[in-house]
Homo-oligomer: A and B are copies of this chain.
Amino acid sequence: MSDSCLSATIAGITMANPLVAASGCYGYGFDYRHCIDPACWGAIVVKGTTLHPRLGNPPPRLVETPSGLLNAIGLQNPGIAYFLKYIRVRLPELGCPVLVNIAGETLDEYRRLAALLNGVDEVAGLEVNISCPNVKKGGISFGCDPALVYELVCRVREAYRGPLIVKLSLEAGNIVSVAEAATRAGADALSLINTIKGMVIDVQKRRPVLGNSTGGLSGPALRPLAVRAVWEVSQAVSVPVIGMGGIMQAEDALQFILAGSAAVAIGTANFVNPAVPKEICDGLKRYLADNGFTHYRELIGLARPGS
């Protein structure tokens, strides 16, 4: 099948395929270049970026769990000023649209980040992280309250005219209400799910393994929860949903698409298999051909009752 069967437009961003490199798992897009051409992605979302540089959490920052990974990076990043000065100019080398994932500690920080990125040509859009489980202030607390999410997204929307994606957490309990609030406030798309807060205890040392005590769970362990979240949210909102959580292979990506994802993001799987975007594209094409579809778009939400 020709490549065009995977072309996608999400929140006004034209992408060669519906695969997105998930924030925090692909650096600024350059680290995997020796393994695979970054242009094979539909889009890349860079590491969570904050107003001021952040040192991040003390190590250990990672611990493996059954079919999952807990991370507590703590949004280590050099800050928006550094990004704009040094990283921005190199982004066009990547050969695909690049989105910036932003995280603030206050509503005003989110607004200022959005304003600083408004009109920046090299950046195709924003992903607003209201759901990072690894920062003390801001982060998760914003993401659980639909009223606060509405207010936050309104402010970002005023400050930023480009494509705006809001990234949701499943921890809210009421993910559908939060999704509706974000959409009402002007989000062009939603991405979900972020990692879920977890903990592993070192029984020999009798304390949590991670330097930050808790971390965010990603990887296949999470996948059934993420598919369910996409299923629920995509039926409640009319904007496109970018699904993610434990996608390792084409079959997993198909689950998300059939559940209602217009695009899928891939994080942890890159650590296991850097060729994953290419393999999934190939797998999607094969599935389309084998099952008589001409474009992946026809599959979106097809597992829903009545489709």
Contacts and interface: CB of A to CB of B under 8 A. Distances in A.
A299 B203 CA distance: 10
How many copies the complex holds: the figure is 2
A241 interface: no
B303 A68 contact: no
Nearest to A65: B224
Given A173-B171, A217-B224, A255 B200 contact: yes
A226 to B, nearest CB: 8
Contacts of A228: 197-199, 214
Interface in A162-207: 171-174, 196-201, 203, 206-207
Interface in A255-301: 255, 258-259, 287, 299
Contacts of A251: 203
A67 interface: yes
A58 interface: no
A221 interface: yes
Count class of interface residues, chain A: 35 or more
Contacts of A254: 201, 203
Contact of A173 (B173, B222, B231, B287): B173
Contacts of A259: 199, 201
Contacts of A200: 224, 227, 255
Interface string A77-105: 00000000000000000000000000000
A208 B303 contact: yes
A196 B144 CA distance: 17
A122 to B, nearest CB: 36
A125 interface: no
Contacts of A70: 224
Interface string A243-256: 00010000100110
Given A201-B303, A206-B303, A214-B231, 17 more contacts: A65-B223, A66-B68, A66-B221, A67-B67, A67-B68, A172-B173, A173-B174, A198-B227, A199-B227, A199-B228, A199-B231, A200-B255, A203-B254, A203-B258, A206-B302, A213-B231, A221-B221
Given A144-B173, A197-B228, A198-B224, A66 B246 contact: yes
